[in-house]
Amino acid sequence: MTTAPPPKAQVTDVAAQISFAMRTMGVAPIPRNYELFYEAYIGSNPALTRELAALGSKATQDELDAIGEQYFGSHQGRAIENAHTKLIGELESLLRVLQQEQTSLESYNKLLGETYSRINSKSNSSADILRSAITILTEATGSTMAHGERTVSQVSQKSHEMDLVRKELDEYKRIANTDSLTRIANRRAFDEKLSAVYANDGHTLSALVLADIDNFKKVNDAYGHPVGDKILATVANVIRANVRKDCFVARTGGEEFAIIIDGNTVEEVNQICERVRVALETTPFKNSKTGVNYGPVTISLGYCMATDAEDAGELYAKSDIALYCAKNAGRNRTKLYEDGMKKDFTKSWLIYKR
């Protein structure tokens, strides 16, 4: 794959970048393919990225599915698609039932009209017409009522089946939006939440906080990834425990976390960041069996208020700059984005690299 990354003006957000890459490779825009390219985009799995890039511009769906099975097992994307298909199937079945009921009622109404015409007809005796009308209406009414009862039963059954499928779909979506290690939201869920910040006028007191564990690579190198994974899970728990329940907390990749806060002033956001930072700094990271102390573990945080950015992309960029400045200033601190802060953005998109 030799295509160069598109200029920033051409591709303005994550979804557009992923869609652009999929079109470049001629890949079908279906959820399970999007999931593969999303993982490649965030760079959380270099091996997956290399395999995906190695397919070039002639990737077949079978090849993509093979990579999906290798890295995602049962593949949540396909499961979501199947649940969607089942839900659509149940909905279509319910519509057929309702259409049949409508046809039955239309036939009954037509019969009522014909019977009314016969009653007004002078070609037969009134007694004959009345007996005939009563017989017809009795049979038709009974049949229509029976059909209606069957329809009510079928609608109830279909509604129950649709509810089960919806719950299944909701569970797949929950799993797909949850980081398996830390049990908080993942990057996919974060992107959706971040894009919604500017969806209405309620972002006046919103803020994006980006956080990064200090010197995490050294911990992984010294003690191994199993210890690193436990530290990541603990950090997630500490963050979650020290922010309000309505704050959105996500692991956005590696040792990086994000918090979206609504309804707080800049000073209050700073207090929340400091509460998280101090809580983590004072949390023991010690192996109870061996006595090995992995700490102290500290975190750097950078944040920007939504009112200081035009859109979600700029909000993320400015928060990232503030985080970079917190790191550059010595780590284990909180920085608010201010005009004049700069960072060298040279990271290119991994999906375009062989």
* Token digits of residue 299: 């975190």
The residue type at 284: P
Task: Determine whether 255 is an active site residue.
Answer: yes
Q: Which of 51, 90, 255, 256 is catalytic?
A: 255
Q: Mind telling me the catalytic residues? A: 255
